[in-house]
Amino acid sequence: MFRLSGIVSVLLAVFCGAMLFWTSQSVQRAEQKLSEVSREAQNEEETLRVLTAEWDYLNRPERLEALTNGNLDLDAPMVDGKSIIESADQIPQPVVPVIPKVKPANLLQYVSTQKKSAEKNEPAVIEKNDSQDFDKLLNNMATGAGQ
């Protein structure tokens, strides 16, 4: 009953079982990972679908027109109801912004400088911060009074 070959075959069976168990666990883990990744990808895709739809919604010609009319002081150059531009060649070429050709991860080095220039060019952002600055000022006054 307990011959050496028997013991070896039992051990072999146990080893095979363990290997099988390990493999099945690995497969299950891999499958789990795969479904997780594909679900994430699906979610990202769905998010993209929503965001592009929102982009096109926000860029409706009607809305852009209303925004430019309300916020920009742009009018066609006219004199007595006639355009002063006689030919389209007089219109300067639009300036195309230069975008650095780098991967997103490398863009971080540009962030700090870009932020500074953005702050300089956008008075709206500064206006928004005004209330916060006012709070800061109040705090400073309070601490100053304490001192």
Partner 1 sequence: MSAFQRRKIYMSGTQQTSLEQARGRLVLMSAFFVFAYVIVLGRAADLSIIQGELQRSGEDSLYEVVDNQGAAEHIRGDIVDRNGVLLARSLKTASLYVDPVLIQEPKKVAEDLVKIFPDLSYGSLLQKLQSKKRFVWLKRNISPEDQSKILYLGYPGLNFKEEMYRIYPQGALAVHLVGASGIDGQGLSGLEAGFNDYLKTSDEPLQLTIDVRLEHVLKREMSKTIKDFNAKAGAGIIMDVETGEILAAISLPDYNPYDYNEASSNAKFNRLSLGVYELGSAFKVFSTAAYLEKTNSDVARKFDVSNPIEIGRFKIRDYHPEKRSMTVPEIFMHSSNIGSAMMGEQVGTEDLKNFYKDIGLFDAPDFEIPEVGKPLIPDPWRDVNTMTASFGHGIAVSPLQLIRAASSIVNGGYLVTPTLIAQKNHHKNALKESRLRVVSPQTSHRMRQLMRLVVTEGTGTKAQVDGFLVGGKTGTAEKPGKGGYNRSQLISSFLGVFPMDEPKYAIFVMVDEPQGNKESYGYATGGWVGAPTVARVVSGMVSVLGIKPRTEKNFEGSLLKYVKTKEQIKKEQEIEAH
CA 10 to chain centre: 58
What is the three-state SS of 18-79? Answer: HHHHHHHHHHHHHHHHHHHHHHHHHHHHHHHHHHHHHHHHHCCHHHHHHHHHHHCCCCCCEE
x-or-dash string of contact with partner 1, 111-130, rule CB under 8 A:
--------------------
Q: Which of 23, 26, 32, 106 binds partner 1 (CB under 8 A)?
A: 32
- 51 counts as binding partner 1 under rule CB under 8 A: no
Residues sharing a CB contact under 8 Å with residue 110, sequence separation 6 or more, in sequence order? 100
Among 19, 50, 102, 125, binds partner 1 (CB under 8 A): 50
Instruction: Look at the chain and count its residues.
Output: 147
Query: For partner 1, which stretch binds (CB under 8 A), given 22-30, 106-114, 120-128, 138-146?
Result: 22-30
Least CB distance from residue 37 to partner 1, whole Å?
Answer: 10
Choosing from 88, 96, 111, 145, the residue that interacts with partner 1 (CB under 8 A) is 88
CB of 33 to partner 1, least distance (A): 9
Smallest CA-to-CA distance from 88 within 80, 77, 97, 73 is with: 77
Tokens of 63: 């809305």
Cβ atoms of 110 and 120 within 8 Å: the answer is no
Which residues contact partner 1 by CB under 8 A?
A: 1-2, 21, 25, 28-29, 32, 35-36, 39, 42, 46, 49-50, 52-54, 56-57, 59-62, 65, 82-83, 87-89
